[in-house]
Amino acid sequence: MPSPQLAPGIRYVDAHCHVDLFPDPVEVMREASRERVAVVAVTNAPSVFQPLVRLASAFENVLPALGLHPELAVERESELSLFRKLLEETDFVGEIGLDGTSRSPRGLATQRRVLGEILHAIERSGPKVLMLHTRRAVRATFDTFGDARASVILHWFNGTDAQARAAVDRGWWFSVNPAMLGSPKGRALVRSLPCDRVLTESDGPFANVKNRPSRPTDVSRIVEDLASLWELGHEDARWVILENFRRCSDLRSR
């Protein structure tokens, strides 16, 4: 069944990229379009969503996501009303979540409140695809989550094996980036995941590939790595990831 989200001829998926934080976002989107990479372009605050949508409007491979990053929760909580207003404009929500490295208790309390408000807005708006940040806060994220109808993608997951299994049991997905595959712990985790729950992400420009910021086109290398972990050919692994994204982003069944 054709996906409502993927443009024709798409070969790869970058499920989490901060396109708007590159020095030249249009050039990044153009390169991804040329290489037929679909890009979920996450944002960190509601006020930067519409400018990104305008930049991305020429690129059918770019899927803009409305976000409020946990590390900006205190600073940008006032943008929640804008978040609610813009939510109808996209099926994709991210980057959102919780970050347990926050040193202030007020910070974590605000993050929980902001995530709770976002999930509440989603319960009223209808199903969405969520790109979730959970650094040192996997359990807290599970606790905050509730029953919002959504496809959840755990971005740069770094929790325990038991937490990974709990996320699998909830029907959630994992987007894998170059940094995860570069560490023994990350590789072991990726190896333990069912292949039908794995997606690829660059997390550009924050992750690094060969000492430079990663880009959407780097996901073909992740597919290559996954192919060897799964003992598949590159084309089969590429197809698995595309099919996973099709299922994950098809909200008709949520």
Of 6 and 67, nearer to Mn ion (C-beta) is 67
Helices (H), the chain: 25-34, 49-56, 73-76, 80-86, 105-125, 138-145, 161-169, 178-181, 184-192, 219-230, 234-249
Nearest to Mn ion of 91, 203 (CB atom): 203
Give how many residues touch Mn ion by CB under 5 A.
2
Task: Decide: helix, strand or coil at residue 63.
Answer: strand
Least distance to Mn ion from the beta carbon of 42, Å?
A: 6
**Neighbouring-strand partners of residue 208:** 213
Query: Could you tell me the strand order of the sheet in which 62-64 lies?
Result: 12-17, 37-41, 62-64
* Subset of 201-220 contacting Mn ion (CB under 5 A): 203
Q: What is the rounded distance in angstroms from the CA atom of residue 140 to the CA atom of residue 136?
A: 9
- Identify which of residues 14 and 95 has a Cβ nearer to Mn ion in the complex: 95
* Residue whose tokens read 């050919």: 233
Shortest Å distance, C-beta 41 to Mn ion: 11
**Min separation Cβ 197 and Mn ion, Å:** 19
CA-CA distance, 141 to 171, in Å (whole number)?
Answer: 15
Stretch that binds Mn ion, among 30-38, 113-121, 137-145, 199-207 (CB under 5 A): 199-207
Binding mask 83-122 for Mn ion (x = CB under 5 A): ------------x---------------------------
Give the shortest CB-170-to-Mn ion separation in angstroms.
21
CA 254/CA 246 separation, integer angstroms: 13
Query: At its nearest, how many Å lie between Mn ion and the CB of residue 90?
Result: 17
What does the radius of gyration of the chain's CA atoms come to, in whole angstroms?
Answer: 17
Nearer to Mn ion, 95 or 99 (CB): 95
Stretch that binds Mn ion, among 28-36, 75-83, 119-127, 198-206 (CB under 5 A): 198-206
Q: Which residues would be at the binding site for Mn ion (CB under 5 A)?
A: 95, 203
